[in-house]
Amino acid sequence: MRVAEARATPSVKARVVGRLTPRTPEGTTTIVPVFRRALRSGALWVEVGVPVLPNGTTGWVQRATLGGYGFVGSRLDISLANLRATLYHGSKRVFTAPIGVGRSKWPTPTGRFIIRNKLTKYASAMYGPLAFGTTARSAVLTDWPAGGFVGIHGTDQPRLIPGQISHGCIRLRNGDILRLARLMPIGTPVTIR
């Protein structure tokens, strides 16, 4: 991927709604979900998810600015009401676990997102052995590093799970996050409801 300005419509003259860069703030390759395509003035454009506030923002970029496409056959469902994460491969449920989510003053954002990276260099007692970065962003804690991206990670307080215990991130017990890491690829769509 090259640096690209995502636009409101498939036109170089359209309003810019966000900017895509080749690397995430954590130094991993940027990936974006692709929703549809359009041919305009001989150029192929694709509508992509743009990881900016408000969550759910989409924009159009020329296809040539992106790298290769990939298909992911899994999806992760996060239920805030049931405090549960469930991973599906196709229609088959392959993982489920209780979770911790954001407190009412720091809510976990709802919507459709993707898993943008798997991070092990941030392993710590507080965050557990690894974290998944998502494209979800906190609308409340925008001063977080890199602007408030929501993660899915382990915890040093497993006894608090399930519950409303975080600043917006989704917490799993360390054994569960390690199990999820073996099953869930980067690029997996995530629905938080």
Indicate which residue of 101, 169, 190, 192 is catalytic: 169
| Pairwise CA distance, residues 33 & 48, whole Å | 5
Active-site annotation holds for 167? no
Active-site annotation holds for 37? no
Indicate which residue of 7, 116, 137, 153 is catalytic: 153
**Catalytic positions, please?**
153, 169
